[in-house]
Amino acid sequence: MRHLITLLLLLFSFSAIPQVLEEIVVTAKKRNQSIQDVGMSVGVMLDEDIDQALQGGIDVLGLANRLPSLHIESSNGRLAPRFYVRGMGNVDFDLNASQPISFIYDDVILENPAAKSFPLFDIERLELLRGPQGTLFGRNTTGGILKFDSRKPAPHSSSEFRLSLGARDHLRADMALNRPLNDSNINVRFAFMANSIGDWIDNTTPQREVSDALGGFEDYAFRLLLDVQPTEKTNVLLNLHGRALDGTPTIFYANAIRPGSEGEFVDGFSRDKVSLDAFDQHFQESKQLGLFATVKHTLGGMSLVSISGIHSVLDQISRGDVDGGYGSVFGGILPSGPGPGIPFDAQTADTLDNHLQITQELRLEGKVGSRHWLVGFYAFLEDLEIETYNFDSVFVPHTLNGYVNQVQDTRAFALFGTIDLISQEDWDVSAGIRLSSDSKDFTAIRTQSPLSFLGIEGIGPISVSPSDTVMTWDVSANTKISEGVNGYVRVARGHRAPSIQGRLLFQDTVSVGDTESNLSVEVGAKALTLDNRLRLHAALYNYRVDNFQITKIGGVANVSELINVATLVGSGTEIEFDWFLNESWLVTGGLSLNFTELSDSDLSVNGCGSASLLSGCTVTDPQLPNGEYLIDGNNLYNSPERIVNFSVRYEKALEIGDFEVATDWAMRSALRFTLYESLEYRDDGAIEGGARVGIQLTGSRHRVSFFVRNILNDESMIGSIDFNNLTSMLNAPRTWGIEYKHLARN
pLDDT value of position 182:
75
Q: Is the pLDDT reported for residue 16 higher than 50? A: no
CB atoms within 10 A of CB 642: 16
Model confidence band, residue 10 (pLDDT cutoffs 50, 70, 90): very low
- Given the DSSP bridges, would you call strands 333-337 and 459-464 parallel, antiparallel or unpaired? unpaired
Q: Is the pLDDT reported for residue 8 higher than 80? A: no
pTM, full prediction: 0.94
With vertex at residue 284, the alpha carbon angle to CA 279 and CA 285, rounded to the nearest 5 degrees, is: 145
pLDDT 10s digits, 441-491: 999 999 999 888 888 899 989 999 999 999 999 999 999 999 899 999 999
pLDDT 10s digits, 671-726: 999 999 999 999 999 999 999 999 988 878 899 999 999 999 999 999 998 888 89
pLDDT value of position 699:
79
Could you tell me the CA-to-CA distances from 51 to 63, 66, 328 in Å, in that order?
A: 10, 12, 44
pLDDT 10s digits, 309-353: 999 999 899 999 999 999 888 766 678 889 888 888 889 999 998
Could you tell me the CA-to-CA distances from 150 to 107, 127, 651, 717 in Å, in that order?
A: 10, 12, 26, 31
* Residue 693 exposed, middle or buried by CB count within 10 Å (0-12, 13-18, 19+): middle
Largest CA distance in the chain: 82
Mean pLDDT score, 122-149: 95
Q: What are phi and psi of 24, to 5 degrees?
A: -100, 120
Which tops the pLDDT comparison, 57 or 183?
57
With vertex at residue 52, the alpha carbon angle to CA 46 and CA 57, rounded to the nearest 5 degrees, is: 125
The helix (run of H) or strand (run of E) holding residue 306 is: strand 302-321
Cβ-defined contacts of 690-694 (< 8 Å, 24+) = 690/52, 690/53, 690/55, 690/663, 690/664, 690/665, 691/661, 691/662, 691/663, 691/664, 692/52, 692/55, 692/660, 692/661, 692/662, 692/663, 693/660, 693/661, 693/662, 694/659, 694/660, 694/739
pLDDT value of position 331:
64
* Residue 483 exposed, middle or buried by CB count within 10 Å (0-12, 13-18, 19+): exposed
Model confidence band, residue 6 (pLDDT cutoffs 50, 70, 90): very low
Contact partners, residue 684, CB within 8 Å, separation at least 6: 262, 263, 670
Name residue 146's amino acid: L
Could you tell me the CA-to-CA distances from 465 to 93, 193, 508, 511, 595 in Å, in that order?
A: 21, 40, 18, 11, 34
